Structure 1
Amino acid sequence: MQINRLIKLCAYFSLFTVFSLSLFACAGQFSPTQAKECQLPPLHGNVSLKPACVYPQEMLITTSHTTVNCNGAILDGNNERAFGIVVNSKGKPLSDVVIRNCKVRNFTRSGIRITSDIPANKLSENHDENYRRTPTRITLDNVEVTGSGRVGIYFDDYVTHSTLSHSVVRDSYMSGIYLEHSSRNNKIVDNQIINNGHESFGKGKREGLAVDSSAYNLIEGNRFESNGAGGVFLYKNCGEHFSTGKSVIRWQHSDYNVIRNNTFVNEPVGIWLASRQNRDLSGFDCGDKPRDASGKYFNDYADDNVVAGNRFDGVKMKFLDNGINNEIQNFN
């Protein structure tokens, strides 16, 4: 009798011990020590993140000459936070920022945004002044942006001399990458832009790379695959939503861009120059002057671009050119 009792007590003690150890192990996943370790450090100078961490915060960089190496660490917005990584000059000069080896996922707006954060109605009529106050020479290298609620990577207006390279942008609700008005001299090279712009497979599908009134850019060596509307679209926004007072009339056209040696796979359209030239924009509330009496059509400028050496596989329409003086050469 005593022996049976001892056996039962030992079994109970063993079960309790295993259960306690399990609780301890689970608690360890969310321990204060680990939570503290996965908090972002001050973001200036040379910054290195812990590769095993999942950071549930926005990375905000506002200081020039900053280099961040994520070392493969993850920033996860959990479909609750708006932006993953933001380079924000806050209306002051900012330059020479490098961000590499980051995985950015599930942010409700953009995985990465480069911006001056100057409201449209606060932009100067002096374009050089706007360029002076906007980030320049920003490098994004070997980043992976997935599951963005709007645009995956957003180069905001007046961003210049910045580069996205050796990266993956996929599964964005809208365009994978957006070059906003008045941006110029940027490079999109050696990236994979995949399965963006489906908008839940409803209306309004978008392209992998949108070039909106952005000029003198290099788009080279990328793979565009299975994006909603197509690969690369160049156009001049007509000043949408003009009656809200928040629209900007574009002064720069999508001219003098080079699109070469890219691969397009399973796209409705590979490359479309002046993609809105013949589109009915009567519902866009445009601020530009229409080119027809009905007010449906607007001049959509994408001229003097070079399109060369691109490859197409399973693309319904390789390219469409509704611009002027574009040079199309060497395509399969």
Structure 2
Amino acid sequence: MNRTTGRRAGFLALPILCLLSVLSGTAAGETQAIYGALTPASETLRACTLPEMTPGKVLLETDCRYTEPVVISSDNILLDCRGGTITGMHRRGITIRPGLKNITIRDCRLDDTGGILIEGQTPSDDAAARDEARANSSQGVVLDHLTITKSYMTGVFVDHYVVGATIRNSIVADGHHVGIYLEHGSQKNVVSGNLIRNNGLFTNKGIRRIGPTRREGLSVDGSAYNLIENNIFDSNAFGGIFHYKNCWEFHTTNPESRPRLQGSDGNVIRGNVFRNMDIGIWVASRQARDLVMWDCGDKSPYDSPVSLAPMMGDRPWGQSDTFLGYHFNPELIAGFVDKNALSPRWPFPMELHLYEDFAEDNTYQDNCFENLVTGIRIEDDGNTVRDNLFVGDFEYLYLGSPFRAKMLNRPIEGTVIEGNKNASPSSRSFLQNSFLADDEHKDTVIVQPDAGSSVPAPDTCKTGQT
């Protein structure tokens, strides 16, 4: 079918040489990728003092446990941990100061720390200052073959206005918060060949997150033109990759809060595997979520608060709506349910504080999705979903945004959906297993096979690096 449509129907227990065989489904004869620290871990660790971080090659010892934070503040440093362990601190394990050149961190283990910070610059809120901050960003920062586990903060935080950092061949797992975070204003970073697994289930204080408070493997928060390829996103609490521009949150209580002036735009996401989560990729993930608790500084285009009543009528619901901002699960708001609401009953509040979200012109290509509730959920314009593979029966694609379409008269525009394949046990086509909401998208280009054309089912997504 080829059509254009305006409708949408124990400590360091992780193996040091962590092969993809730790995940189910590595095909026979397939190259197994090595993620994380390369040097085998020592069975016992002794307490050691960090060497001085001076230009040149700085070596750590394999059998050492370092409990001081590493701070890189000079150019031209290669820190080779040789499998050594940085651990046991409620602050960043490694910080790379802004404006540096040629920094490489490799073969390290970080366990029970605040993760790694690639520090950025904080410009004034004008275009020239923002461009200058990017021009003065650190250059040639590479994080390679790291094992980052049990971070109480983000595993790797790429700070605002950082340009061109590379995170590759690493494990980011079992963290309380987001695995990897690309902060607002940053651009042209590379996240390649990583295993990002089981992050986002607890707060920094160890309290279990529920419902929409859970976090994702990779946040792209007002960060643009990044390349995210050949990673595995597995069993993160809420999903794999979330694109959004936050609403200038906590602007009255956090003096470091700044307005987000760039959307999560122009990113390329290709060759990744998404499995064992609610959502693989969510595009404009805050387009229709209640942000009343976020103290947003952005001006809302809605006459907030927005009543839920108009959304409780005849609109069909996609699978992901059951745990997101429309078709509520009572678990999401501490079990308080409006007993007078229509079935299925809606929890308090019966109103939402909505803000527009921005994630345009991204490309999702040659990825594989399995064992999810929703593969890709799209709530902004100009995005392309091409040549992906969906294994199993679930909601492959969700296209729509009910509040924006209905209340702002702005359906999602210009989505391209082409050449996607699926392996459906029930022989359903890609479109039959997708939810394209009526009257919530327009100028959508669909070039997909007809029903009955699903491909022969593989056992699972391939998991080797390419």
- The TM-score with structure 2 as length reference comes to 0.60
Aligned to 1:301: 358
Contact 2:90/2:152, CA 8 A, preserved across alignment? no
Q: Which of 63, 88, 94 is the equivalent residue of 1:52?
A: 63
Contact 2:362/2:382, CA 8 A, preserved across alignment? yes
Q: Which of 137, 159, 163 is the equivalent residue of 1:160?
A: 163
Contact 1:149/1:173, CA 8 A, preserved across alignment? yes
1:288 aligns with 2:298: yes
Aligned to 2:441: none
State the shift of 1:39 in Å.
1.3
1:143 aligns with 2:146: yes
Separation in structure 2 between the aligned mates of residue 62 and residue 329 of structure 1, nearest angstrom: 42
SS at match of 2:277: coil
1:234 aligns with 2:237: no
Structure 1: tracts of 5 or more residues without a match: 1-28
Letter aligned with residue 224 of structure 2: A
Identity %: 38
How many equivalent residue pairs?
289
Separation in structure 1 between the aligned mates of residue 140 and residue 125 of structure 2, nearest angstrom: 21
Aligned to 2:130: 127
State the shift of 1:192 in Å.
0.2
Q: Which of 210, 215, 220 is the equivalent residue of 1:206?
A: 215
Deviations 1:276-318 (A, max 9, x none): 1011112211111102111511111000000011111211100
State the shift of 1:123 in Å.
4.0
SS at match of 2:115: strand
Aligned to 2:226: 217
Separation in structure 2 between the aligned mates of residue 136 and residue 113 of structure 1, nearest angstrom: 15
SS at match of 1:129: helix
Contact 2:250/2:295, CA 8 A, preserved across alignment? yes
State the shift of 1:248 in Å.
0.8
Contact 2:270/2:364, CA 8 A, preserved across alignment? yes
Structure 2: tracts of 5 or more residues without a match: 1-43, 306-352, 390-466
The correspondence of residues 65-84 of structure 1 with structure 2, limited to 5 A, is 65-76=76-87, 78=88, 80-84=89-93
Q: Which of 93, 116, 122 is the equivalent residue of 1:112?
A: 116
1:192 aligns with 2:199: no
Letter aligned with residue 263 of structure 1: V
Contact 1:137/1:160, CA 8 A, preserved across alignment? no
Q: Which of 371, 392, 398 is the equivalent residue of 1:314?
A: 371
Aligned to 1:87: 96
SS at match of 1:128: helix
Letter aligned with residue 171 of structure 1: D
Separation in structure 2 between the aligned mates of residue 285 and residue 55 of structure 1, nearest angstrom: 39
Query: 62-71 or 125-134: which moved more?
Result: 125-134
SS at match of 1:266: strand
State the shift of 1:128 in Å.
2.1
1:267 aligns with 2:277: yes
Letter aligned with residue 177 of structure 2: M
Q: Whose RCO is larger (CA < 8 A, sep 6+)?
A: 2
Deviations 1:204-241 (A, max 9, x none): 10000000000000000000000011000000010000
SS at match of 1:139: strand
Aligned to 2:417: none
Q: Which structure shows the higher helix fraction? A: 1
State the shift of 1:40 in Å.
1.1
Separation in structure 2 between the aligned mates of residue 291 and residue 194 of structure 1, nearest angstrom: 36
Separation in structure 1 between the aligned mates of residue 243 and residue 375 of structure 2, nearest angstrom: 14
Separation in structure 1 between the aligned mates of residue 209 and residue 251 of structure 2, nearest angstrom: 25
Contact 1:274/1:323, CA 8 A, preserved across alignment? yes
Query: Cα RMSD between the aligned structures?
Result: 1.6
